Amino acid sequence: MERRRLGDGLTVSAIGFGCMGMSQSYGPSTGTRDDHIALIRSAVDQGVTHFDTAEVYGPYINEALVGEALAPVRDQVVIATKFGFDIKPEGGWRGTDSSPEQIRRAVDGSLQRLGTDRIDLLYQHRVDPDVPIEDVAGTVKDLIAAGKVKHFGLSEAGPETIRRAHAVQPVAALQNEYSLWWRRPEDQVLPLLDELGIGLVPYSPLGKGFLTGAITADTEFTEGDIRGTIPRFETEAREANQALVDLLTAIAAEKDATPAQIALAWLLAQRPSIVPIPGTRKPMRLAENLAAADVTLSGADLARLRAAADEIQIVGARYPDYLERMTGL
């Protein structure tokens, strides 16, 4: 697979693997832990070098899963994880905590669970309003000097936060949501990343599955599936937002591709420093996602997609209020 450069000298596969869904957010998995390990290793075999996890996923169990799966190929891959939540002993989290002491504790815990001596890309998971970003960046800078971390990242951060952090410790990557149905980063964030030489790692590049075409107004979400709590996935919103899936489906038919592949190919075409991290639990979906790297969209295709998408009014908030308030956008 093609390699792409994010920032601060970090190079990864053009498409990465978001591992969160193996442990949370999308309801019970029909696969076993061994199935998930096999899928992650299959991704490596298919050229993926960039794997994304976080201490809060589970909590904790996703890091252990990723660490075990990648242990045989540790030196061939980039592992990204995140700190920044106050995780309760009984599970779940109370809010943000990016105090220097908590960052250091989180990193030590992540290193142990991942079974590694360094974290290739360490993100602040959400901006902490109670801790100056300079203190966060300075703490990560110290961890880089100590050899525990190689590159620094931010997630769901806005332009001012990014600029201030980058002045203390170069930011290699920003992990924000970005897709054809959430394009807010285009307004201010993407131009700043271009200016500072920072890569973008879009999470939910397939709109939490909606852009695949597999979710319709009739879909019923299981207990534990976060989509059942998101306004954008309410029945009326899904009916309205189907117009975007119909657009992707029409382009896909012309390209002998799938809607998901067109959505990912569109992201890849926006900038050479964009590396989406779609997640899945299914081998078939993994192969489909990775094949998007071979889909070519012409300038005319991209102009048509953008013009049509501009005319579609996406209905519904992307998060419940309590989660949206935690973003820095």
Which of 57, 60, 123, 178 is flagged as catalytic? 57
Long-range pairs for 160-163: beta carbons < 8 A, 24 or more residues apart: 161/127, 161/133, 161/328, 162/189, 162/192, 162/193, 162/196, 162/198, 163/192, 163/196
φ, ψ (nearest 5 deg) of residue 63: -60, -45
Q: What angle do CA 76, 78, 84 make, to 5 degrees?
A: 155
DSSP 59: T
Q: Are 161 and 129 in contact (CB under 8 A)?
A: no
- Here the tokens at position 213 are 């075409």
DSSP strands (E only) in the chain: 3-5, 11-13, 17-18, 50-52, 78-83, 85-87, 93-96, 119-124, 149-155, 171-175, 199-200
Half-sphere exposure of 204 (CA within 13 A, CB side): 18
- Here the tokens at position 156 are 């769901």
Distance CA 315, CA 309 (A): 13
Question: Catalytic residue at 57?
Answer: yes
- Here the tokens at position 56 are 């809060």
3-class DSSP state of 274: strand
Distance CA 100, CA 103 (A): 5
Half-sphere exposure of 14 (CA within 13 A, CB side): 20
- Here the tokens at position 154 are 């931010």
3-state SS record for 126-182: CCCCCCCHHHHHHHHHHHHHCCCEEEEEEECCCHHHHHHHHHHCCEEEEECECECCE
Active-site amino acid positions: 57
